[in-house]
C-alpha cells in the first residue's frame, strides 16, 4: 500500500531542509550503506503515531540563478500540488508575509489540497505572537515551529496526519503483481507500456487508482494477473518536471511506492547516465523488487560480447543493485518482449518469499563455520540466531552479542551466502543487527 506523501514548500531560506531532516530523523540511516546509493536528500520517510509517510523536500530542487528563484518556487509548489496528499507550507516568523509567500499561497489555495502552514523560526515564546498574521493567508491550520530547536514539530505532524487519505483498503488482491516503469525521459517507457498491452488479449478497461490519480491498467498473462501503474498518467505535465533531473525522480515516487516490481528502463543506444542512478536508487531504497530493462536493443550494433559488456556496465554503475536481473528488448519491434514477464513473476515471488527460521540458521551457521567473523580489539562477533521478520522486501534480523562488531564487509558476506542458498533474485535484502538480551 502506498504511503501518503507530504511535500514541504516555501520560498528559499525559510528552513525547509532543516525541518525535513527533523521529520525523517534517522530514517535514511536504516537503508544499508552500500556503495553507489545516491544520497540526494530530496525524499525520505517519516513516521508519527505509528503512521508511515513519504516526505518530499522541494527545497532540494531549486533552479540556479537569482532571476530563477521565483520560477523555482512556483515549480516546487506545482510539484507539491500534483504529487502530495498533504502540503506543509513553510513561512518565516521573523520576515512576516512576503510577496513570494502570497503568490505561493494563491497557487496552493486553488489546488484544493490540505495545506498546513508551518511558521518557522519561532525560537522563543515572544515569537509565538508572530504566527497570527499568517492566518490571513486563509488556510486555517497554522503551527509555530523551530526547525533548529525541534520545537513544535510534533504539533505539526499531529496536524499533517489528520489529513491523510484513508489507505486502509487494499486496491488489488494479493495475487495481483503491480508493475511500475521508471526511467529518465525518452528511454521508451510509454512505448514499452504500449507494447506490453498491445499484445495482450485480456485487458480490463483502465481504472483510476483509488488512492492516486495515476491510471492503472490491469491485464492477465499466462494465468497471472498484473497491473501496470501507468506513468503516462503522470506525464501530463511532464515538460515542467523533466526540465530538471531531480524533478523526474520525484515524478517516479508515487508509482514506485505502489508497485511490487519496478522496471528500471535504460536506453540501450545512449547507455547509462548519472540520472539513471537517481531513479533506480529510489526503487532500491523503497525496498522494491527491480529489473533493469534495456530498451532499443534492436538499434544497438552488437556482436557476441555486447550484451555481456553492457550487463557488466550496469553492474559497475549500480553496485547497490547487483541483485536485479537484466532483460534486453525492443519495445518498438517487440523483440525479446516475451522474456520480460517470466522474470517479473519470478522476482515478485522472490520479493514475497519467506524462509523458515531453522533453515535460515542452518545456512548462517555454515557460513560462520566456513569464515568466522574477524576479531575487533580482542572481541569477536557471536551470532546467536537469525530470523526473517518481514517480506516485500525480505528482512532479516541477526541477534548478536554486540551489534557494533557486525562490520559491513561481514554482513555483505552473510548476504551473499543467504542469496546463494535461497535466491532472493531481484529483491533487496534488508539486514539488521540487534543485541540478544539475557532473557531471550
Q: Is 295 annotated as a binding residue?
A: yes
Q: Is 140 annotated as a binding residue?
A: no
Q: Is 234 annotated as a binding residue?
A: yes
Q: Is 59 annotated as a binding residue?
A: yes
Q: Is 58 annotated as a binding residue?
A: yes
pLDDT of residue 143: 95
Q: Is 13 annotated as a binding residue?
A: yes
Q: Where are the beta strands (DSSP E) in 209-363?
A: 215-221, 224-230, 261-267, 289-295, 326-328
Q: Is 297 annotated as a binding residue?
A: yes
Which of 302, 343, 341, 342 shows the shortest CA–CA distance to 326?
Answer: 343
231: helix, strand or coil: helix
DSSP state of 353: -
Give, in degrees to the nearest 5, the angle at Cα 236 between 230 and 238: 100
Q: Is 400 annotated as a binding residue?
A: no
What pairs with residue 91 in β-bridges?
A: 119
Q: Is 104 annotated as a binding residue?
A: no
Q: Is 16 annotated as a binding residue?
A: yes
pLDDT of residue 244: 52
Q: Is 222 annotated as a binding residue?
A: no
Q: Is 150 annotated as a binding residue?
A: no
Which of 215, 257, 206 shows the shortest CA–CA distance to 236?
Answer: 215
Stretches where the chain sits below pLDDT 70 are 1-2, 26-42, 59-69, 76, 167-171, 199-215, 230-251, 437-440
Q: Is 361 annotated as a binding residue?
A: no
**Quick one: cell of 52?**
508511515
Return d(Cα 41, Cα 254) in angstroms, integer.
17
Return d(Cα 75, Cα 62) in angstroms, integer.
9
Q: Is 326 annotated as a binding residue?
A: no
Q: Is 231 annotated as a binding residue?
A: yes
- CA distances, 243 to each of 41, 70, 401 (Å): 19, 16, 51
Task: Examine residue 393 and say whether the peptide bond preceding it is cis (omega within 30 degrees of 0).
Answer: yes
| DSSP assignments along 392-420, one per residue | TTTEEEEEES-GGG--HHHHHHHHHHHHH
Helix axes 245-258, 69-83, angle to 10 degrees: 10
Q: Is 14 annotated as a binding residue?
A: yes
Return d(Cα 318, Cα 203) in angstroms, integer.
34
Q: Is 146 annotated as a binding residue?
A: no
Return d(Cα 70, Cα 51) in angstroms, integer.
34
Cα 244 to chain centroid distance, Å, stands at: 18
pLDDT of residue 167: 63
Q: Is 187 annotated as a binding residue?
A: yes
Q: Is 123 annotated as a binding residue?
A: yes
Domains and CATH numbers, the chain: 5-162 (3.40.50.300), 177-350 (3.40.50.300), 357-435 (3.30.300.20)
Q: Is 184 annotated as a binding residue?
A: yes
- CA distances, 207 to each of 85, 199, 230, 246, 321 (Å): 20, 19, 11, 29, 32
pLDDT of residue 254: 75
pLDDT of residue 399: 96
Q: Is 264 annotated as a binding residue?
A: no
pLDDT of residue 200: 46
Q: Is 61 annotated as a binding residue?
A: yes
Q: Is 121 annotated as a binding residue?
A: yes
pLDDT of residue 60: 53
Q: Is 48 annotated as a binding residue?
A: no
| DSSP assignments along 85-146, one per residue | SEEEEEEETTT-S-HHHHHHHHHHHHHTS-EEEEEE---SGGGGGGGGGGGGGS-S-EEE-B
pLDDT of residue 126: 79
Q: Is 120 annotated as a binding residue?
A: yes
Q: Is 250 annotated as a binding residue?
A: no
Q: Is 154 annotated as a binding residue?
A: no
Region of 104 please: left (phi>0), alpha (psi -120 to 50) or beta.
Answer: alpha
Q: Is 15 annotated as a binding residue?
A: yes
Q: Is 268 annotated as a binding residue?
A: no
Return d(Cα 364, Cα 380) in angstroms, integer.
16
State the pTM of this model. Answer: 0.76
Q: Is 438 annotated as a binding residue?
A: no
**Quick one: cell of 228?**
501496470
Amino acid at each position: 500500500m502506498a504511503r501518503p506523501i507530504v511535500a514541504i514548500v516555501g520560498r528559499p531560506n525559510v528552513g525547509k531542509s532543516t525541518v525535513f531532516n527533523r521529520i525523517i530523523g534517522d530514517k535514511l540511516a536504516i537503508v544499508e550503506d552500500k556503495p553507489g546509493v545516491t544520497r540526494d536528500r530530496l525524499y525520505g520517510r517519516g513516521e508519527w503515531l505509528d503512521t508511515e509517510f513519504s516526505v518530499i523536500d522541494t527545497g532540494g530542487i531549486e533552479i540556479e540563478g537569482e532571476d530563477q528563484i521565483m520560477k523555482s518556487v512556483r515549480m516546487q509548489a506545482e510539484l507539491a500540488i500534483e504529487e502530495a496528499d498533504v502540503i506543509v507550507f513553510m513561512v518565516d516568523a521573523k520576515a512576516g508575509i512576503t510577496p513570494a509567500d502570497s503568490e505561493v499561497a494563491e497557487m496552493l489555495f486553488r489546488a484544493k489540497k490540505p495545506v498546513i502552514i508551518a511558521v518557522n523560526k519561532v525560537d522563543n515564546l515572544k515569537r509565538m505572537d508572530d504566527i497570527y498574521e499568517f492566518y490571513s493567508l486563509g488556510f486555517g491550520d497554522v503551527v509555530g515551529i523551530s526547525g533548529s530547536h525541534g520545537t513544535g514539530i510534533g504539533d505539526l505532524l499531529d496536524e499533517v496526519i489528520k489529513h491523510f487519505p484513508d489507505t486502509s483498503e487494499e486496491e488489488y488482491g494479493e495475487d495481483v503483481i503491480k508493475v511500475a516503469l521508471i526511467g529518465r525521459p525518452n528511454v521508451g517507457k510509454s512505448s514499452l507500456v504500449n507494447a506490453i498491452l498491445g499484445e495482450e488479449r485480456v485487458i480490463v478497461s483502465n481504472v483510476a487508482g483509488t488512492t492516486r490519480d495515476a491510471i492503472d491498467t490491469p491485464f492477465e498473462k499466462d494465468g497471472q494477473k498484473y497491473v501496470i501503474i501507468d506513468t503516462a498518467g503522470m506525464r501530463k505535465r511532464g515538460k515542467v518536471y523533466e526540465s530538471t533531473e531531480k524533478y523526474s525522480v520525484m515524478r517516479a515516487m508515487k508509482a514506485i511506492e505502489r508497485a511490487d516490481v519496478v522496471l528500471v528502463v535504460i536506453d540501450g543506444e545512449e547507455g547509462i547516465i548519472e540520472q539513471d542512478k537517481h531513479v533506480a536508487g529510489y526503487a532500491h531504497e523503497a525496498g522494491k523488487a527491480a529489473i533493469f530493462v534495456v530498451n532499443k536493443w534492436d538499434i544497438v550494433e552488437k556482436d557476441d560480447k555486447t550484451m555481456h559488456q553492457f550487463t557488466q556496465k550496469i553492474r559497475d554503475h549500480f553496485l547497490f543493485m547487483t541483485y536485479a536481473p537484466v532483460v534486453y528488448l525492443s519495445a518498438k519491434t517487440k523483440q525479446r518482449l516475451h522474456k520480460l514477464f517470466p522474470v517479473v513473476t519470478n522476482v515478485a515471488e522472490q520479493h514475497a518469499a519467506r524462509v523458515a527460521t531453522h533453515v535460515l540458521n542452518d545456512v548462517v551457521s555454515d557460513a560462520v563455520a566456513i569464515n568466522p567473523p574477524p576479531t575487533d580489539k580482542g572481541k569477536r562477533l557471536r551470532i546467536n540466531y537469525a530470523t526473517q521478520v518481514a517480506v516485500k522486501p525480505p528482512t532479516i534480523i541477526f541477534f548478536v552479542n554486540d551489534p557494533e562488531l557486525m562490520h559491513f564487509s561481514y554482513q555483505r558476506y552473510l548476504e551473499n551466502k543467504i542469496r546463494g542458498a535461497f535466491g532472493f533474485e531481484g529483491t533487496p535484502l534488508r539486514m539488521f543487527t540487534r543485541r540478544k538480551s539475557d532473557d531471550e
